[in-house]
Structure 1
């Protein structure tokens, strides 16, 4: 038997998992998702991810498929059944299968949402080589829709931007709108200048990252200066450090932007310290 996945109330082998071709997640990208990390068999930042999921569903007038208690029980069962030590749990909710294709939303009283979960094992997740070597990124135009604060499954352009980065021989891309960085393809973006941590303020323009919230809270608790504002690629290239945060990469330094080295061209002390603090504190509250 292979990996066990969850599909609408059933735990099944991944080879037996089925979702209808009429599911709106498949036909319309009408769905939301969350990715949570697991370290030492425990789930990190679960309350934040659950709260953001609820917000995403609410913003799209989508019915929650299960209660909060039921969802946590499913997460724990997925860890147990897959003997997951280090890795991730992917969750996706769609508006379900109305039985035919139609732009109009189906009646939620008649069509139940689709809920799927699967795990991805990532041994040594907390010891990623990128944390020691740093990432190289390029800038690309921002071309996503204007509700990036909702964690939808509309990921075509971020995927295209990732491929632009791969073609350029680097690790990732930062998206730029009106001359200012919004975020990375699948992460929040930061720079450090004169000891201040700078990252774009929350709005509909960026995803409200759960790791972002935790890292900024820990930074303030450590008496680090935080500025939530926009910054340009030029400012980022002239910064002392740069880094990203996400649920799967935690805090990872960026050492080059559009071919220009950031700071010394090596991972800096602020990013390194924030990664240490995040992992230490998150492990304490993991469930």
Structure 2
């Protein structure tokens, strides 16, 4: 069944959606994106996603395509038209279409705006019950990972490499330190009970779910350490997990073939997943 998508002001059947071959998102990956989860037909953490979008656009000196109110209306219209009870809304903002040139086009170039939905189960992901396996892969991405651009070829390569090793995802490693997963933030729980995740910088994406989960963990009495950690430290951890808008909180039960604990999701990861889901359901708009 065809989805309705949004392209530059029009709601269209996905088969009829078109974008210029001169669009800089297509030619240069000169575009940013956000993915907002949908639970019970409502948007999770929408305001935070819009705040991060504004930051990405500002860092790249890119024009905002519409007001936050208009973007909210478009999200809601797509959710309604596609009957999404549970799933995702993907939004991409590009610098626009212009003749191919490495220089940015004039500032009055109209930005491109594309949105589509994906229906999928989020609450009851099997991996939430079983955990996932990760494999380490060198982090060879560009230096501005804090900007949520569509430059996702290397994360795609890394995830494919991890799959070939029998894992579900990759943890990217730079200078001996874990940066993050291919599309998620990474965490470990140390033997003395500290929840450790890398501090915000240009090296990692400033995850929306990351911010919410750290707040909830602190409120739940966990000691938080925002610092880098090594792959060896991760392999010695009591627990590990990832967070993202589409995964929420997913336990990690194996790293590079080494089983963590008894090989089942730990109590802290399970607890944080429960807390996050409850708040997401309560606060979604």
TM > 0.5:
yes
> CA contact under 8 A between 1:56 and 1:151: conserved in structure 2?
yes
Q: Residue in 1 aligned with 2:63?
A: 63
Residue 62 of structure 1 deviates from its aligned partner by 0.1
Between the aligned partners of 1:78 and 1:162, the Cα distance in structure 2 is 29
Measure, in 2, the Cα distance between the counterparts of 1:263 and 1:94.
Answer: 44
Deviation at 1:6, TM superposition (A): 0.4
CA contact (8 A) 1:191 1:240 kept: yes
Q: Deviations over 1:67-114 (max 9, x none)?
A: 11111111111111111100000000001101x2111111121x1000
In the alignment, which residue of structure 1 is the partner of 2:213?
Answer: 215
| TM-score, structure 2 normalization | 0.98
Q: Once the two structures are superposed, what CA deviation does each residue of 1:182-228 show, in whole Å capped at 9, x if it has no partner?
A: 00000000000122111000000000000000000011111111110
Do the aligned partners of 1:65 and 1:114 also contact (CA within 8 Å) in 2?
A: yes
Q: Are the aligned partners of 1:180 and 1:232 in contact in 2 as well (CA < 8 Å)?
A: yes
Map residues 233-272 of structure 1 onto 2, 5 A cutoff.
233-272=231-270
Q: Hey, what does 1:176 align to over in structure 2?
A: 173
Match of 2:13 in 1: 13
Cα distance in structure 2, aligned partners of 1:140 and 1:167? 12
User: How many aligned positions are there?
Assistant: 284
- Residues 1-287 of structure 1 aligned to structure 2 (within 5 Å): 2-98=2-98, 100-109=99-108, 111-122=109-120, 124-193=121-190, 194-287=192-285
Q: Give the whole-Å Cα distance in 2 for the aligned partners of 1:230 and 1:265.
A: 24
Secondary structure in structure 1 of the residue aligned to 2:135: strand
Moved beyond 4 Å, runs of 4+: none
Please give the alpha-carbon distance, in whole angstroms, between the structure 1 residues aligned to 2:101 and 2:156: 26
The answer to whether the 8 A contact 1:236-1:262 is kept is no
Superposed CA RMSD: 0.8
Distance 1:27 1:142 in 2: 24
Distance 1:201 1:221 in 2: 19
When structure 1 is superposed on structure 2, of 55-64 and 218-227 the one drifting more is: 218-227
Give me the whole-angstrom Cα distance separating, in 2, the residues matched to 1:263 and 1:55.
Answer: 39
2: CA distance between counterparts of 1:93 and 1:196? 38
Measure the CA separation in 2 of the matches of 1:210 and 1:286. Answer: 14
What 5-or-longer segments of structure 2 have no aligned partner? Answer: none
- Alignment partners' CA distance in 2, 1:107 and 1:70: 24
Structure 2 Cα separation of the partners of residues 171 and 188 of structure 1: 15
Q: Aligned-pair distance for 1:272?
A: 0.1
TM-score, reference length from structure 1: 0.98
Work out the CA distance in 1 between the residues paired with 2:248 and 2:216. Answer: 13
